[in-house]
Amino acid sequence: MNSRPLPGSGAPKRNPSAAVQLPDYTVYTLASWHKITAMLVGGTLLWAIGCLFYHNGLLSLLLVPGGAYAPRILRDYLHRRRRAALNLQFKQMLFSLSSSLSAGRSVENAFREAVQDLLMLDPEGDSDMISELNIICARMEYGQPVEEALNDFSKRAGMEDVERFADVFSVCKRTGGDLVEIVRRTSTIIGEKLDMQQEIAVSIAQKKFEAKALLVSPLIMVIFMSLTAGDYMQPMYTGAGIAISTLALGLLFLCCLWTSKIMNIPL
């Protein structure tokens, strides 16, 4: 792939982002071993639940194909966790950027300083925000305007706050506005919003735990009854009892889906 020569350079330089596939935070792709492990764990768990309700290993195998849904559950969970971590790291980056600009540093040096500030919070340096700041700094080294690098990051992040900051930053650079004040006010507003989101997440964490406890309680009750009153539970494993157990198991799965929908509150 040919690269466009930079203004004032004698020879064309290759943009590092042109040769590397940059991450897209709007999607999450599981590794093959993650998918296989999730399916095995999901299938085994469903088989164990089937054995608990039917006391029949062969009949319980009918539930095992449901383990194919486990990779999707794992993918969605890891995706939400990654975006939440990126959201928090973006807030920390904004505060660092605001402090550096207020101290009189240039925009370029402020972004470089933000890398060092985040490394103090994450010495290993494997967070997504540090990687993105390194990409932005590398693009600046190759002569690309910082606002273009920010706009590209905002598109890949797919987050409202990042897009809003990139738009405000670009307009300020074009119009020659007070960049220090605009970044400070923007970072304060976005920071307050993120703080409110975290408070809401903490407030509903207890309700999520209670919902999970209610979903597990029927399984615990069946285990307890099977261990302490096996003869009393024996009719549930033969004849019409199998149909009743299947109905109860189906209702339990519906409650699980319903609860997950209710507790999945977008912040």
What mean pLDDT is predicted for residues 167-179? 81
Domain presence at residue 168: yes
12-52 pLDDT, tens digit per residue, is 445 554 556 888 999 999 999 999 999 999 999 999 999 98
Averaged pLDDT for residues 246-255: 89
Q: What pLDDT is stored for residue 10 in this prediction?
A: 42
Q: Domain range holding 196?
A: 16-223+235-263
Task: With CA atoms as reference, report the closest residue to 222 among 51, 47, 45.
Answer: 51
Cα separations (Å) of 20 from 16, 30, 131, 141, 216? Answer: 7, 19, 13, 16, 45
Q: Considering the domain boundaries, does residue 127 fall inside one? A: yes
Residue 230 lies in a domain: no
Q: How many CB atoms sit inside 10 A of residue 260's CB?
A: 15
Inter-residue contact 101 to 184 (CB < 8 Å): yes
Question: What number is the average pLDDT over the span 196-204?
Answer: 82
pLDDT digits (tens, 9 = 90+) for 110-124: 888 999 989 888 888
pTM value is: 0.79
At residue 19, the pLDDT reads 52
Is residue 7 in some structural domain?
no
Interhelix angle for 70-102 vs 32-54, to 10°? 130
pLDDT band at 72 (very low <50, low <70, confident <90, very high): very high
Give the count of domains, the chain: 1
Per-chain mean pLDDT for the chain: 84
Dihedral sign (CA 258, 263, 264, 267): positive
Which band of pLDDT confidence, cut at 50, 70 and 90, is reported for residue 161?
A: confident
Residue 85 is assigned to a structural domain of this protein = yes
